[in-house]
Amino acid sequence: MKTLTSHTQRATAPSGNGHTSTPNGEGTTELLTLILDRLERMEQRFDHYEALVQQTLPMVGMMTDTVDGWMHELTRSGINIDERTKETLRLLAELTAPQSMETLHTLVEMLPTLGALVRQAPGAVAAMVDTGDELVMRLREAGIDIEHLGRRGLHAAKALIDSNVLEDAAVAVISNAAQSLEESVCTARPTSLFGLIRAMGDPDVQRALGFFLAFAKSFGSRCKTSV
């Protein structure tokens, strides 16, 4: 600051004969003064920036220490920061993929419709509840015990599950029986006693009779224990 001012004063000081000491005249002196003023303002700005940097450095150090503390606590908690960062970047890459962006655009376009459905949902649920209450009231007026029917339905459902009728083997037998019934409707013909005797030699008929005999034995045994 003082150095630039002294230079400016010497540059503009008049000589002993009333003229400036600069040999090139007043234009050179004014140009030099302008340059020195610009340099002085730049020096002031640099001083201001240097002061800001000096004030910012402790804050940056404190923030760095705080982040290091957080990282240390996360590591102690068993969180792998590197793995989390890699996974986040991978998800970000998948999210910004063309197919994902197309899906997101579709969802964004559907948001108004979804919003309207959400706003209408409470009214729809209330209407369904009112309809259910009205149905229950009419059934009670008709003398139907809803609670008893509910208990019987639960008991029947439990018995159905415990009966193993939903197992793969039972479902396969029922499926085969249904297909055989459908085929028999179109192929069944009247038969005589001799036709029945001849059919006994068919391996498929023998297999079916063996199944029915085994079923009859097992079913009869269960009927005996349940009676």
Output the tens digit of pLDDT for each of the chain's 227 residues. Answer: 444 444 444 444 444 444 444 445 567 888 888 888 888 888 777 777 777 777 777 777 777 878 777 777 777 788 787 888 888 888 888 888 888 888 888 888 888 888 888 888 888 888 888 888 888 788 778 887 777 777 888 888 887 777 777 788 888 888 888 888 888 888 878 888 888 888 888 898 899 899 889 888 888 887 876 55
Q: CA 13 to CA 7: how far, in whole Å?
A: 10
Where exactly are the structural domains of the chain? Answer: 2-79, 148-186
Name the DSSP letter for residue 18.
Answer: S
Torsion of CA 147, 153, 154, 155, to 10 degrees: 110
| Per-residue confidence (pLDDT) for residue 25, from 0 to 100 | 58
3-state percent breakdown (helix, strand, coil) of the chain, nearest 5:
85, 0, 15
